[in-house]
Amino acid sequence: MKKLNTNPCSFKALKKIIIIPSFLISVNLFAQRPATGTWLNVQFPVQLNNKWQIPNDFNYRTLGNSASALQQLYRGGIKYIFDKHWSATAGIAFAFTRTTFTKQTKEFAREFRYWQEVNYKTQLTANLLGQLRLRVEERSFTATNSKAAYHAFRYRIRPQLQQKIYGKWSLFVADEYMEQHAKNKWSFDQNRFMINGIYSFNKYTQLFAGYMWLQWPANSSQHIITVAFQKTILLHAKQ
């Protein structure tokens, strides 16, 4: 009868065969983008006069259901209002994004943007406002421990509707598609479908709360809770 091989080296090799792939699988699953998140946004546009405005936009985006930051972003610029339909804005933005989807990672990638946009809006009915926004961003990313520095151009288009429902309440629906050009290659960046309830305290102060379905490349998606507060600061007489 043949003796069973009890060589310790054989057991060590077997352990490596089992443990290493299991470790790689668990790391890969742990590093996946969270399926949920919360985006908090505060906006303080400064209205200089009837034609000029300085937008200020602060964003805090969480890592999944935790309060830890996945991204922090500030966007500012200068806006010119041509008439009741058309406006154009240009500005800069700074973003700090965690380099992985784990709390243990303390490194944040730094990004600087130039951005420009054109807005068209029109009153479709007495209570329904339609708007189309086109935005271009020139993005510069600094080097991190896992990636070299690089530059990219991102193009965004967002049609949206805002329906007044009752009293101070309105409903906002929008869809934003983004395409990016980086390293001599075009690629789908993301698509955001948004639905929000809006409560208007007055003409210059609004609170937004709602849901966003965010589609990423490779059939990855997220469900995002969004909360935004906007307060327009007037540096001229009220209209």
pTM to 2 decimal places: 0.85
**Residue 187 pLDDT level (bands cut at 50, 70, 90):** very high
pLDDT (tens digit per residue) in 37-96: 999 999 999 999 999 999 999 999 999 999 999 999 999 999 999 999 999 999 999 999
Half-sphere exposure of 23 (CA within 13 A, CB side): 6
Rounded-to-integer distance, Cα 116 and Cα 88, Å: 8
Residue 235 Ramachandran class (φ > 0 left, ψ -120 to 50 alpha, else beta): alpha
pLDDT (tens digit per residue) in 4-34: 455 544 445 444 443 444 433 333 334 689 9
Please report the pLDDT score of residue 236 as a whole number.
76
Structural domain boundaries in the chain:
39-234
pLDDT (tens digit per residue) in 102-154: 999 999 999 999 999 999 999 999 999 999 999 999 999 999 998 999 999 99
pLDDT above 70 (res 186): yes
Q: Which residues, including other chains, have CB under 8 Å from residue 137's CB and lie 6 or more apart?
A: 93, 113, 114, 115, 153, 154, 155, 156
Please report the pLDDT score of residue 239 as a whole number.
53
Q: Looking at the DSSP assignment, which residues form a beta bridge with residue 214?
A: 192, 222
Rounded-to-integer distance, Cα 10 and Cα 199, Å: 68
Please report the pLDDT score of residue 225 as a whole number.
98
User: Looking at domain 39-234, does it have CATH number 3.40.50.1100?
Assistant: no
**Environment class of 200 (CB within 10 Å of its CB; exposed 0-12, middle 13-18, buried 19+):** middle
Two structure tokens written together for 114: 């130039």
Pairing state between β 221-231 and 150-166: unpaired
